[in-house]
Amino acid sequence: MTNTLKNETKIRIGVDIGGTFTDVVLEKNKEVFSSKVLTTSDFPEIAILNGIAEVTKEAKVKPETISQIIHGTTLATNALIERTGAKTALITTKGFRDVIEMRTESRFEQYDLNLMMPLPLISREHRYVIEERISATGDILIPINKTKVMELIKALKNENYASIAVGLIHSYTNDYHERYIKNILSKQLRNAMVSISSEVSPQMREYERFNTVSANAYVKPLMKSYLMRLQKKLIKQKIVCPIFLMHSGGGIISLESAAEFPVRLIESGPAGGAVFAATIAKKHKIKNTLSFDMGGTTAKICLIKNQKPKTSRVFEVARSYRFKKGSGMPISIPVIDMVEIGAGGGSLAHVDELQQIRVGPQSAGSNPGPACYSLGGNSPTVTDADLFLGKLSEDGFAGGSMPLSKIDSENTLKINISDKLGTSDEISAHGILEVVDENMANAARVHAVENGEDLSDYTMIAFGGAAPLHASRICEKLGINKFLVPEGAGVGSALGFLHAPFSFEATRSFYSRISNFNLKLTKNIFAELQNDATTFVKSCAPNSPIQSEYKVYMRYKGQGWEIPVHLKEKDALKPTGKELKKLFEREYKKIFGRIVNDIDIEITIWSVNSFTPLKKITEIEPIEAKKIARIKEKRSMFDSKLGREVRAKVIARNQLNEGDEIYGPAIITETETTIILTSNFKATVQMDKCISVQKNE
Amino acid sequence: MNAKTKKINNQVMWNRLISVVEEQAQALIRTAFSTSVREAGDLSAGVYNSKGEMLAQAVTGTPGHVNAMAESVGHFIKYIGEKTFREGDVYITNDPWMGTGHLHDITVVTPTFKDQKFIGFFACTAHIVDIGGRGFGADAISIYEEGLYIPIMRFFDKGKINNTLIQIIRANVREPDQLVGDLFALAACNEIGIKRLLVMMEEFKIKNLTIISNFILERSYKATLEKISQLPQKEATGFMTIDGYNTPINIKIRLTILKHEIRCDFTGTSSVDEKGINVPLVYTKAYACYALKCTIAPNIPNNAGSLSPFKVFAPINSIVNAIHPAPVALRHVIGHFIPDTIFNALNKIMPNTVPAEGAGTLCNFQVSIRPTEYQSVGEDNYRSEVLTFNSGGSGARPNSDGLNATAFPSGVMTMPIEATENTGPIIIWRKELRPDSGGIGKFRGGLGQFMEVGVKEGYVFDFQAMFDRVNYPAKGQNGGGSGSPTLIRRDDGLKMKGKGKQFIPNGNKVHLAFPGGGGFGKVAHRDKSLIKRDLTLGYISTESAQLHYKLSEQEINSVLQNKKK
């Protein structure tokens, strides 16, 4: 059959642009090739072309035979953090000019008298108001007036805005006024791009929605021009295949959709990482996994239940104050739910006024980097502690291309920690690692409890440069018995892109109560949302079957926090109050322990996620240990659980074969990372070279 | 585990306890029914050793719970009796003097057991929207009018719920379902804390909290003393006058910094008011400590050790040490001014450290809505109670402007108006910054905000005002100007009172202008680029730019022409 034949020769490319590196992976049949090149911040497409040239050469394929490119990028995120977006205006309801500036009217740090608030994305002089008003129930209280809109447009015309955001009160329930303005704007101000909040994020809560539409408008010109440039450059290289973009919800959308809703591209890299972990979980037939990605600056933790990453409807970007909750800006779009904390190899350690060791969230970055890089860094980092305690070696870092200096680590540990606490350098380094591991374990615990999950039946999947070094200790702390370190962990996000389905999640706020549940109205909501979502997916994959998932957010009447409740297709097409109540109570009980009797239940947000079937993954059987790997080399390593030094076996990953078994304490080295097995763990090499690490009985 | 790594373990456990109480608080936010808890974060959660000493407390929206929480568990030990503690017990109170200052705060305490041995407590407090009586407001003249009073008692007895208590509560409050829902949420969040604590104890193989609690309390006490010892050992007074209910109120403090403690004496402060704005001492202590901790030791976590060097004295029957049966429902209105009064004194001891006066108390109001014609009451026509939290501007700092429309000292959040309008037939017509309201100075006070409140056609409402700074706006510091005062009137021009319940007839709205913060330093020293920025942003008007900030007409025109470039 020609169809299958075509599929077999498909050459697909995944590209992830990160802050430092641009990762490109190429998939040819079942083979995977990868390259890592430096990111070219001003013109990111250059790095992509470089990466593609490198990887196609290695795979011995011609660029013009590439059939699909899937791309994820931090470009939109960076524009928000660095405030390098376009000149943008916000049009909002009269009386509400300052919503995005007043935020929640609270301080995200209670004890800092000199606290500064992050500046609003669109400054006050660029925020315009229009007389109009819609009520919470969608009734028009003050109709919009064409003369007034025209007056406003006159004012806007003089200012040459590249982009305009429109966010009106209660537009999630009635979008008539926003569309009315959009219509006139697109005729009158042809040079400006327009984003309206009822399209970008039709969810209740004005601060979140206005901020989201502002962010979309702010990055739109930049993203659009970048994506168009990229397409042109690729065509020049005779790469004429379709380009798709990874979005924050863990799926892919067309280049056109991405250019229209660039805010959905935020966090696409980490989303790719979560999809990568989900793929590994599926391959290894593991039900529930904790994805743990630790790099130089941050660690990201994500729950993957039933081989699917958890999703959420709002998140925060551009935190301005020590990664503190509330110090960034909220973006309400469907997103893979993960916690990101300031803990990485480069995280700096110091002793505070309570004589406690603190680690992060500040990072030494790559320049000067940890003290052991000997590039002038003079504060101890997590990497210094790892080196000092024998978990890293001086000559094995980054495949030996980056010699490390243990003496430099020791000196900085002594000056900054040991001398202040009156402890040995060993205990200081141990303290740094315990603190950073505890920080990450705490973040994972809190995240699990918030989702009503018990981590003890989870398996961890560890990737990113620093994760395998810390995985075993964090598993000990979390009571997790098993973790996997997959191959290709260094380019995990880009690999994840290749496994992401075409998908689009459409959400809408609509109040409904179980006590007066209206089947007709609610049935239509799901039908409309499904139509919206599938239209997006069809634009990418016109011939593929499309599946949909249905979800509502529910709570007891009077509560403020909604919990997601999933519906089966048959229930979604014909939802009944009784069934919804049952599902809600089951979920509520799981998270909070007990249900509340006699209180009505509300449904606030409705969502349909439509997607193409996931790429088929061949499951593999776990391998039983065949033989104990013979390892001669040993070095001293500090075992955190035992609290003392032990002699650990050392072996290179590429010398291990399927079925080999290694008992901890052991150190498995590879170019991009090092896997540490504490005395409690043993590892078995799997069919796909994935290393499966299990607690000893 | 060897001796050397023990020290590290103690630190790890301390971190863990802080994480546990944060999680306990999160669980409460997510399950609570009262908007004050779930949207605004008016709650508190903590873990205690067996002596009732607080080891860790969640940083939530309410410094007002800081000491109050720290002390309240001691009262439970005394009144319940340690010998009668059993696994599955849960205790409760809303006693303003043994809890956190008014009947609207419910405190729930759960004794914690490991291997059948009593080891400590988890406690939490939340502000609920209604406790019966006259409703939340300043109008009562004794505590008896302010609602149902729950003495310290058992909420659960060995796992069995106290149904008599629940029946009494249900019969006495306006929203029984939601209040009982909140009570369960309080009990459940303690359970979450207990579960996590026991896992930690298992992991570190400890049988009780003695060693870790000594470690935490000693470290914190020492670190706080260390900070205090770096201060000049001086004495200074602070003073502030505010509106009060009918008569103005003077808050006076004498601050004495000694080697091992800081004393805060409120002698000279006005005496108890006849209306419900009086403050139990626990709440006074909480805000006094908060102000001192912000200035002196912001990074040391709150616990019995770090709080013990701060000593607060206030004469009995002064408005900051009201005793039973004084009405105390709006104790926050006065309590929120305590930090600014302390800063007034601290500025004399530690110049250029603390901010000028700000809006102080939150600009809260509650709206009771009912249909104009009773025959039309039906499915979509109902009575509704809506409480909102809002903020004026904070005082300018020695090196930066005050924060616009941001709560200080309280840390609670405002509710989204879209969420508020979904809870009843209320319409908020305006909620935006109030230009020119920040006190002038080298650094400008934070701006207050405008609000306009009405209801849907066919409804009337009572407006319960809880404002201050109508007659006494926030004063500037070191030569800075005052912030603008609170303004409150009906849209037909009728003047309204800053406090108390006022009827609003059909079709009328309430216009509100919330106060700005005071300025810091002389206006002549203000950086011109900041003045121009303020004009560009519309924080100040052209008139003010000319009159107060001495910008020339030419400069003003140039700013206005270029403002959108």
pLDDT 10s digits, B102-122: 999 999 999 999 999 999 999
Statement: residue B382 has pLDDT above 80 = no
Burial class (CB in 10 A: 0-12, 13-18, 19+), A208: buried
Reported as a single tens digit per residue, the pLDDT across A431-464 is 999 999 999 999 998 888 778 788 989 999 999 8
The residue of A93, A100, A104 whose CB has the most chain B CBs within 10 angstroms, and thus the best one to mutate to test that interface, is A104
Parent domain of A659: 639-695
Inform me whether the C-beta atom of residue A116 falls under 8 Å from chain B C-beta atoms: yes
Residue A625 maps to a domain: no
User: Which residue of chain A has the CA closest to B406?
Assistant: A105
Residue B251 maps to a domain: no
Subunit contact B417:A133, Cβ cutoff 8 A: no
pTM of the model: 0.92
Closest CB to B422 among A136, A357, A477: A136
Distance between CA atoms of residues B212 and B303, nearest Å: 13
Joined tokens for residue B200: 């930690």
Closest CB to B12 among A126, A435, A561: A435
Q: pLDDT exceeding 90 applies to what percent of chain A?
A: 65
**Within 10 Å of residue B317's Cβ, how many Cβ atoms?**
12
In A2-126, which ranges are E strands? 11-17, 21-28, 31-38, 68-73, 88-93
Inform me whether the C-beta atom of residue B564 falls under 8 Å from chain A C-beta atoms: yes
Q: Is residue A310 domain-shared with residue A458, that is, in the same domain? A: yes
pLDDT given for residue A672 in this prediction: 80
Residue B516 maps to a domain: yes
Indicate the pLDDT class of residue A498, thresholds 50, 70 and 90: very high
φ, ψ at B70 (rounded to 5°): -60, -35
- Single out the residue in A485, A501, A517 at which a domain terminates: A501
Subunit contact B390:A438, Cβ cutoff 8 A: no
Closest CB to A434 among B12, B199, B223: B12
- Single out the residue in B221, B251, B286 at which a domain terminates: B221
Distance between CA atoms of residues B90 and B111, nearest Å: 7
B 220-239 residues with CB below 8 A of A?
Answer: 220, 223, 226-227
Q: Is residue A317 domain-shared with residue A281, that is, in the same domain? A: yes
Distance between CA atoms of residues A105 and A108, nearest Å: 10
Domains: count for chain B: 2
H or E element that contains B168:
helix B163-172
Inform me whether the C-beta atom of residue B455 falls under 8 Å from chain A C-beta atoms: no
pLDDT given for residue A286 in this prediction: 95
Q: Is residue A203 domain-shared with residue A317, that is, in the same domain? A: no
Q: Is residue A135 domain-shared with residue A202, that is, in the same domain? A: yes
Indicate the pLDDT class of residue B27, thresholds 50, 70 and 90: confident
Residue A64, helix vs strand vs coil: helix
pLDDT given for residue A491 in this prediction: 85
How far away is chain A from the Cα of B508, in angstroms, using its nearest Cα? 15
Residue B440: closest CA among B402, B383, B405: B402
CA distances to B74, B152, B169 from B149, rounded to whole Å, are: 19, 10, 9
| Alpha helices for B173-270 (secondary structure H) | 176-203, 210-229
Reported as a single tens digit per residue, the pLDDT across B314-339 is 999 999 999 999 999 999 999 999 99
Distance between CA atoms of residues A527 and A530, nearest Å: 5
Round to the nearest angstrom and report the end-to-end CA distance of chain A: 50
Residue A458: closest CA among A303, A288, A630: A288
Subunit contact B429:A205, Cβ cutoff 8 A: no
Subunit contact A592:B539, Cβ cutoff 8 A: no
pLDDT averaged over every residue in chain B: 92
Q: How is residue A417 annotated by DSSP?
A: I
How far away is chain B from the Cα of A336, in angstroms, using its nearest Cα? 20
The answer to which of A354-368, B89-103, B534-548 has the lowest mean pLDDT is A354-368
How far away is chain A from the Cα of B95, in angstroms, using its nearest Cα? 25
The residue of B422, B512, B539, B560 whose CB has the most chain A CBs within 10 angstroms, and thus the best one to mutate to test that interface, is B422
Burial class (CB in 10 A: 0-12, 13-18, 19+), A395: exposed
B 171-200 residues with CB below 8 A of A?
Answer: 175, 177-178, 181, 184, 188, 191-192, 196, 199
Q: Measured in whole angstroms, how far is the alpha carbon of residue B232 from the centre of its chain?
A: 30
Q: Measured in whole angstroms, how far is the alpha carbon of residue A311 from the centre of its chain?
A: 10
Residue B280 maps to a domain: no
pLDDT given for residue B61 in this prediction: 67
User: Which residue of chain B has the CA closest to A126?
Assistant: B564
Statement: residue A5 has pLDDT above 70 = no
Q: pLDDT exceeding 70 applies to what percent of chain A?
A: 98
User: Which residue of chain B has the CA closest to A94?
Assistant: B430
What mean pLDDT is predicted for residues A536-556?
89
Those residues with Cβ within 8 angstroms of residue A535's Cβ, 6 or more apart along the chain or in another chain? none
The answer to which of A36-40, A83-87, B238-242, B280-284 has the lowest mean pLDDT is A36-40
> Are B338 and B287 in contact, with CB atoms under 8 Å apart?
yes
pLDDT given for residue B376 in this prediction: 54
B 98-157 residues with CB below 8 A of A?
Answer: none
Q: How is residue B397 annotated by DSSP?
A: B
Q: Is residue A279 domain-shared with residue A160, that is, in the same domain? A: no
CA distances to A593, B23, B69, B197 from B190, rounded to whole Å, are: 12, 10, 14, 10
Domains: count for chain A: 5
Residue A369 maps to a domain: yes
Statement: residue A326 has pLDDT above 90 = no
Reported as a single tens digit per residue, the pLDDT across A125-152 is 999 999 999 999 899 999 999 999 999 9
Residue A31: which CATH number? Answer: 3.30.420.40
CA distances to A447, A454, A586, B358 from A303, rounded to whole Å, are: 8, 11, 20, 44
Residue A117: closest CA among B44, B340, B397: B397
Reported as a single tens digit per residue, the pLDDT across B33-81 is 877 777 667 788 999 999 999 999 987 767 877 777 788 999 999 999 9
> Are A570 and A510 in contact, with CB atoms under 8 Å apart?
no
Q: Is residue A256 domain-shared with residue A284, that is, in the same domain? A: no
Residue carrying structure tokens 């020339």: B552
Residue B88: closest CA among B128, B116, B49: B116
pLDDT given for residue A397 in this prediction: 80
- Single out the residue in A452, A484, A501 at which a domain terminates: A501
Distance between CA atoms of residues B527 and B443, nearest Å: 9
Distance between CA atoms of residues A420 and A356, nearest Å: 10
Residue B372, helix vs strand vs coil: coil
Q: Compute and round to an integer the Cα radius of gyration of chain B.
A: 24
pLDDT given for residue B113 in this prediction: 97
Inform me whether the C-beta atom of residue B302 falls under 8 Å from chain A C-beta atoms: no
Statement: residue A231 has pLDDT above 70 = yes
Residue A274, helix vs strand vs coil: helix
Q: Is residue A30 domain-shared with residue A92, that is, in the same domain? A: no
A 565-604 residues with CB below 8 A of B?
Answer: 592-594, 596, 598-599
Residue A307: closest CA among A276, A338, A286: A286
What mean pLDDT is predicted for residues A186-196?
95
Statement: residue A9 has pLDDT above 80 = no
Largest CA distance in chain B: 80
φ, ψ at B513 (rounded to 5°): -130, 115
What b/e sequence results for B461-487 when a residue is b if at least 16 CB atoms lie within 10 Å of its CB, and e otherwise? bbbbbbbbbbebbbbbbbebbbbbbbb
> Are B26 and A446 in contact, with CB atoms under 8 Å apart?
yes
Statement: residue A493 has pLDDT above 70 = yes
Joined tokens for residue B305: 């050790």
- Single out the residue in B221, B238, B271 at which a domain terminates: B221
pLDDT given for residue A8 in this prediction: 45
Subunit contact A111:B299, Cβ cutoff 8 A: yes
Contacts A442 to B, Cβ<8 Å: 15-16, 19
User: What is the interface size between A and B, counted as CB pairs within 8 Å?
Assistant: 219
Residue A118: closest CA among A326, A314, A363, A297: A326
User: Which residue of chain B has the CA closest to A170?
Assistant: B418
Residue A546: closest CA among A557, A559, A531: A531
Q: Which amino acid, B381?
A: N
> Are A27 and A82 in contact, with CB atoms under 8 Å apart?
no
Closest CB to B407 among A96, A105, A449: A105
Closest CB to B418 among A107, A206, A450: A206
A 343-402 residues with CB below 8 A of B?
Answer: 352-357
- Single out the residue in B160, B186, B221 at which a domain terminates: B221
Q: Compute and round to an integer the Cα radius of gyration of chain A.
A: 26
Residue A347: which CATH number? Answer: 3.30.420.190
What mean pLDDT is predicted for residues A358-369?
84
A 238-267 residues with CB below 8 A of B?
Answer: none
Q: Is residue A292 domain-shared with residue A274, that is, in the same domain? A: yes
Subunit contact A558:B33, Cβ cutoff 8 A: yes
What b/e sequence results for A323-335 when a residue is b if at least 16 CB atoms lie within 10 Å of its CB, and e otherwise? beebbbbbbbbbb
pLDDT given for residue A22 in this prediction: 87
Statement: residue A574 has pLDDT above 50 = yes
Indicate the pLDDT class of residue B381, thresholds 50, 70 and 90: low
Tell whether omega for the bond before A361 is within 30 degrees of 0, i.e. cis.
Answer: yes
Inform me whether the C-beta atom of residue A325 falls under 8 Å from chain B C-beta atoms: no
Contacts A560 to B, Cβ<8 Å: 29, 32, 35, 38-39, 419
Subunit contact B226:A169, Cβ cutoff 8 A: no
User: Which residue of chain A has the CA closest to B419?
Assistant: A205
Residue B44, helix vs strand vs coil: strand
User: Which residue of chain A has the CA closest to B404?
Assistant: A102
Residue A478, helix vs strand vs coil: helix
pLDDT given for residue A398 in this prediction: 74
How far away is chain A from the Cα of B449, in angstroms, using its nearest Cα? 9
What mean pLDDT is predicted for residues B528-532?
97
Residue A394: closest CA among A380, A410, A377, A415: A410
Q: How is residue B354 annotated by DSSP?
A: S
Subunit contact A106:B41, Cβ cutoff 8 A: yes
What mean pLDDT is predicted for residues B448-463?
95
Residue B305 maps to a domain: no
What mean pLDDT is predicted for residues A80-107?
95
Round to the nearest angstrom and report the end-to-end CA distance of chain B: 65
Residue B304 maps to a domain: no
Distance between CA atoms of residues B231 and B235, nearest Å: 11
Residue B199: closest CA among B23, B334, B364: B23
Contacts A206 to B, Cβ<8 Å: 416-418
Burial class (CB in 10 A: 0-12, 13-18, 19+), A489: buried
pLDDT given for residue A1 in this prediction: 32
Parent domain of B87: 3-221
Statement: residue A503 has pLDDT above 80 = yes
pLDDT averaged over every residue in chain A: 91
Residue A588: which CATH number? Answer: 3.30.1490
Closest CB to A355 among B31, B219, B403: B219
Inform me whether the C-beta atom of residue B397 falls under 8 Å from chain A C-beta atoms: yes
Q: How is residue B321 annotated by DSSP?
A: S
User: Which residue of chain B has the CA closest to A98?
Assistant: B432
Inform me whether the C-beta atom of residue A422 falls under 8 Å from chain B C-beta atoms: no
Contacts B187 to A, Cβ<8 Å: none
Closest CB to A159 among B452, B536, B564: B564
How far away is chain A from the Cα of B395, in angstroms, using its nearest Cα? 10
Residue A359: closest CA among A433, A261, A309: A433
- Single out the residue in A445, A475, A501 at which a domain terminates: A501
The answer to which of A513-527, B182-196, B242-256 has the lowest mean pLDDT is A513-527
Residue A458 maps to a domain: yes
Residue B26, helix vs strand vs coil: helix
A81 vs B485, higher pLDDT = B485
Residue carrying structure tokens 């106290």: B162
- The β-bridge relationship of strands A11-17 and A21-28 is antiparallel
Reported as a single tens digit per residue, the pLDDT across B542-556 is 999 999 999 999 999
Statement: residue A4 has pLDDT above 70 = no
User: Which residue of chain B has the CA closest to A599?
Assistant: B177
The DSSP result for A326-366, as a single string, is TSSEEE-S-EE-EEEES-STTEEEEE-TTS-EEEEEEE-TT
pLDDT given for residue A6 in this prediction: 43
The length of chain B, given as a count of residues: 565
